[in-house]
Amino acid sequence: MTNQLQKQTAKGLLTSPSVQAKFTEVIGKKSTQFITSVLQIVNNNKLLANADPNSILNAAMTAATLDLPINNNLGFAYIVPYGNAAQFQMGWRGFVQLAQRTGLYKTISVSAIYDGQLVSNDPLKGCEFDFSVVPVGKPIGYAAYFKLLSGYEATLYMSHSEVEAHGKKYSKTYSSGPWKDNFEAMAKKTCLKLLLSRFAPLSVEIQMAVTLDQSKINDNLQPEYIDNQDAEFTEVDKERDRAIDMIADCTSIDELIALEKQLGYGYEVEIKEKSSTFKI
């Protein structure tokens, strides 16, 4: 009886006129199909059906704000049960999608790496791979790569043991949640997320995705890290906030050019937006 009541409450919340209007405001005509897909996921997951309906709504609204479909088969974004709450999680395809939208990337990808494919791994000059080697056995690691239209490129390789250690450190549900059910997808996401947060030009959407990933979203659409919080991402967010404040404080194009040289790659979007306020 309790499960059924909570299930109806989640359905009632997501299909209420006010909530439907909000989703329509955010994603337009896609809102009906989007809400239907969320309800299907809730109905097919007993643990999620028992979760706080508001946490389900907020996770769904986060995905809608990022314009990412909630469909486990597509792998862009997920709503995952965690205790009595629903947790928003990015998929690696979601990060690729958000990067492509910026118009700054020539290519971006992530792949499992098998024995014999890793030729060299230089922490300063990057990695070299030989993908002519036929994959055999289980992956020995995972690699993420991007190249910008400007020519800048970066690669991050993580061994299987490094990915495993990361998952155990930052996920309390490592042995029973998404890491157990789909290790490769989580490994690819972890590798790509680390690469983007360390080296890539981050749009507002990507910053939002990095910050909200693996969190319960409260009613103000702010993250509550009910799982183990990744301290590295938190420091990255703080550093970016400081840099963006510095960009906003620039009062001339000369100051902006000087700051651009100081900050290096990773702030093209904010610098471009600020540049538009000056007459050159």
| DSSP letter, residue 218 | -
CA angle 128, 189, 203 (to 5 degrees): 95
pLDDT of residue 7: 45
Q: Total domain count for the chain?
A: 3
pLDDT above 80 for 53: yes
Those residues with Cβ within 8 angstroms of residue 83's Cβ, 6 or more apart along the chain or in another chain: 226
What is the per-residue pLDDT across 97-141, written as a single tens digit (0 to 9) for each? Answer: 999 999 999 999 999 999 999 999 887 788 999 999 999 999 999
Could you tell me if 73 and 110 lie in one domain? no
Domain assignment present for residue 184? The answer is yes
CA angle 78, 144, 233 (to 5 degrees): 60
Phi, psi of 265 (to 5 degrees): -70, 155
- 270 is a domain residue: yes
Is residue 228 a part of any domain in this protein?
A: no
Q: Is residue 31 part of a domain?
A: yes
Please state which of the ranges 72-81, 159-168, 239-248 shows the lowest mean pLDDT: 239-248
Domain extent, residue 243, equals 239-275
